[in-house]
């Protein structure tokens, strides 16, 4: 029996507005005829956008609200109290109630994490959710990297949990039985790094009960090498590394554009090398890798780039549907049992049972 996931879309989130979110849904539906959508936002504006995609209308429900979470909204009790009235909160609440299989939003990242965590809560055995995304590599497949900004400070137990969640994600998208996992560090030697990183490394090295293959440390310049299926780090390091990778990609693209337009000879060179440059452009286009996932929640929530075009939005929707169809939350719940209750094995280094606020 074919699963027909109903994806709740925060149609009013993001920089590009309702028209792009609806266009992304139409593209995703064209590629995957079993997709259905709950479009959350102003019903009149959504209906207007749907006029450009008449084939999509029969596969959509509209949940009306005019309240939004803006990019300037700070995470606060007031925001959480009014979240159910917003398009973002309503999309997440549809997942909580079971009406929708997953939620996709291109809105405020911090608010999305806070509202999703408040509504869905962390899964049993998961101390904190983590933000995971796919980054391009030199090889055929992308690398799963987490945490990319949900938690600025992490202890060893958090990092091990991230490794388990990242490996579950990699198994879903790549079909690998034991994905290779590395910890992001300032060096590859065993003595390098913070206590929490070394404690997590010791645990991952010494245990063979986890469905992953731990390969030690990696440095930031190897993120895109393709030497690992999963790279694990705290959210502070991960967010800086992500922004550096994205900035480097834009730098290379802009540099090539400038070089190929600098003279008549260079323009001729561009025509000769255009197939290669188009391949490079495709590989570096963030819309082809769009869709960061909040791992470890009791439900699937995917964050799209705020500036994503319809192709990027469609990619984020496809990521959400893939995780639903492959029962990612069930996989994580089963895998996390291998480390549940093993906090003593981490030793004192890098392990703190106290609650730390999510870094947003």
Token couple for 6:
């109903």
Q: Which long-range contacts (CB under 8 A, 24 or more apart) does 330-335 make?
A: 331/168, 331/171, 331/172, 332/123, 332/126, 332/164, 332/165, 332/168, 332/295, 332/296, 333/123, 333/124, 333/125, 335/164, 335/165, 335/167, 335/168, 335/210, 335/211
Q: 237-258 pLDDT, tens per residue?
A: 999 988 888 787 778 777 777 7
Q: Tell whether the model's pLDDT for residue 357 goes beyond 50.
A: no
Determine the Cα–Cα distance for residues 252 and 204; give it in Å rounded to an integer: 36
Instruction: Please report the pLDDT score of residue 204 as a whole number.
Output: 92
Residue 212 has pLDDT above 50, yes or no: yes
Query: What's the CA gap between 338 and 99, in Å, rounded?
Result: 31
Residue-range domain boundaries for the chain: 6-127+287-325, 135-284+334-346
CATH for the stretch 135-284+334-346:
3.40.718.10
Beta-bridge partner residues of 302 = 104, 293
CA distance 288 to 133: 12
Q: Which residues contact 74 (CB under 8 A, 6 or more apart)?
A: 110
| CATH topology identical between 6-127+287-325 and 135-284+334-346 | yes
For residue range 147-180, what is the model confidence (pLDDT) as tens digits? 998 888 899 999 999 999 999 999 988 888 899 9
Task: Enter the pTM of the model.
Answer: 0.84
Which superfamily is assigned to 6-127+287-325 in CATH? Answer: Isopropylmalate Dehydrogenase (3.40.718.10)
The single-letter DSSP state of residue 100 is -
Under the banding of pLDDT at 50, 70 and 90, the label for residue 118 is: very high
279 vs 307, which has greater pLDDT? 307
- Is the Cβ–Cβ distance between 232 and 182 less than 8 Å? yes
- Predicted confidence band of residue 96 (pLDDT cuts 50, 70, 90): very high
The DSSP secondary structure of 251-298, one letter per residue, reads HHHHHHHHHHTSSHHHHHHHHHHHHHHHHHHHHH-GGGG--EEEETBS
Average pLDDT over residues 64-87: 88
pLDDT at 348: 42
pLDDT by residue (tens digit) across 6-21?
A: 999 999 987 888 999 9
Distance between CA atoms of 146 and 150, rounded to whole angstroms? 9
């Amino acid at each position: 029996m074919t699963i027909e996931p109903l994806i709740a879309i925060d149609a009013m989130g993001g920089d590009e507005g309702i028209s792009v979110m609806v266009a992304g849904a139409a593209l995703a539906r064209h590629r995957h005829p079993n997709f259905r959508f709950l479009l959350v936002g102003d019903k009149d504006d959504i209906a207007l956008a749907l006029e450009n995609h008449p084939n999509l209308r029969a596969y959509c429900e509209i949940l009306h609200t005019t309240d939004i979470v803006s990019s300037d909204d700070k995470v606060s009790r007031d925001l959480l109290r009014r979240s159910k009235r917003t398009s973002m909160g309503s999309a997440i609440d549809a997942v909580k109630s079971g009406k929708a299989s997953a939620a996709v939003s291109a809105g405020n990242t911090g608010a999305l994490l806070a509202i999703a965590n408040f509504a869905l809560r962390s899964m049993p055995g998961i101390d904190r959710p983590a933000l995971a995304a796919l980054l391009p590599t030199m090889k055929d497949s992308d690398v799963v990297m987490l945490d990319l900004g949900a938690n600025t400070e992490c202890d060893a137990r958090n990092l091990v949990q991230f490794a388990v969640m990242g490996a579950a994600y990699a198994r879903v998208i790549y079909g690998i039985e034991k994905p290779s996992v590395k910890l992001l560090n300032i060096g590859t030697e065993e003595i390098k790094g913070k206590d929490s990183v070394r404690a997590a490394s010791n645990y991952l090295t010494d245990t063979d009960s986890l469905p992953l293959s731990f390969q030690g440390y990696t440095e930031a310049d190897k993120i895109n090498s393709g030497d690992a299926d999963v790279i694990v780090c705290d959210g502070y390091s991960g967010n800086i590394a992500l922004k550096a990778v994205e900035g480097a990609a834009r730098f290379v693209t802009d540099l090539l554009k400038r070089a190929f337009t600098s003279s008549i000879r260079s323009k001729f060179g561009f025509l000769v090398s255009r197939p290669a440059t188009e391949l490079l452009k495709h590989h570096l286009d963030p819309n082809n890798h769009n869709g960061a996932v909040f791992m470890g929640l009791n439900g699937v929530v995917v964050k799209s780039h705020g500036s994503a075009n319809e192709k990027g939005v469609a990619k984020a929707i496809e990521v959400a549907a893939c995780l639903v169809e492959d029962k990612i939350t069930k996989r994580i719940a089963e895998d996390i049992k291998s480390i549940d209750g093993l906090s003593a094995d981490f030793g004192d280094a890098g392990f703190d049972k106290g609650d730390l606020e999510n870094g947003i």
